[in-house]
Amino acid sequence: MFYVLSFLLSSLPRKLEKIIFEFFYPIYLLKFRKEKEYITSRLQKANLQISPKDIYRNLFANGLDSLRFLKNKKVAIKFENLNLTENEKNPIVFISIHSGAFEILHRVIGTQPTNLIVSEFRNKKLDKFLTNTRQTQNLKIVKDYELSKILKNAIRNKENLAVMADQSKHGGENFDILGDSIPLFFKLPLMANRLGASLVFFRTFKKNAEHVIRFERVYKPKSEIDKNEIAKMIESWVLEHPEQWAWNYRGD
């Protein structure tokens, strides 16, 4: 079912996107009204003049482009600050958040073998579908409960790691993000940095019908890193494009 649905959605003409969204949005809310109320509360705490519908509309559009990209269809992408990673000889931990068409991020970080750390979905069929769709020759999908094994093998084999910092089920530490206490996943990246890996913070967002992939900051191995400073940087990413962040990631 997921494979058929993904084929249909990835082939959806762009002119129909808004029509499809407007049709399915009220149907979606029949089951997820509490989620909408939760997002509304978070947006009010952050004093942002955007609605949950703005969030869902952008999640839908960016999700479709992510799916198109994963299915090797044409998607407009622009890189910024790519030179920040050109001279990195060490294993790298790439760190981002669920903003923009985030599924695109990890397909474009080079030819070096990379372990993408994800959380397991309760729906086993959906979990298997996403694993098969996301992984490529150089991108291996690994679960966050395997962290200790992942880290040792990656450093030993000089492989990269990729982490979504705002998806934390194991080893998260809470930080204030726009008025909410949100767990950010820094434990593994900081440990990897102490063991000899560089940390690269990067993100994606959509601007003028183009997906921008921007490399923001690099920390060399064994750097002095202020976790609160990183949290503030991530908060600034959300503030720049709040309508494209997944506000439904809970902090409780």
24: amino acid identity, one letter: F
Q: How distant, in Å, are the alpha carbons of 37, 103, 227, 231 from that of 29? A: 10, 24, 36, 31
pTM for this model (two decimals): 0.91
**What pLDDT was estimated at residue 164?**
92
**What pLDDT was estimated at residue 250?**
62
**What pLDDT was estimated at residue 94?**
95
Q: Would you list the domain boundaries of the chain?
A: 2-70, 77-244
pLDDT by residue (tens digit) across 38-83? 999 999 999 999 999 999 999 999 999 999 998 889 999 999 998 8
No. of helices (H) and no. of strands (E), the chain? 7, 9
In total, the chain counts a number of residues equal to 252
Q: Rounded to whole angstroms, how far apart are CA atoms 40 and 19?
A: 23
Q: Map tokens 């000899």 to a residue.
A: 196
Determine what percent of the chain is predicted with pLDDT higher than 90: 56
Res. 238: pLDDT tops 90 = yes
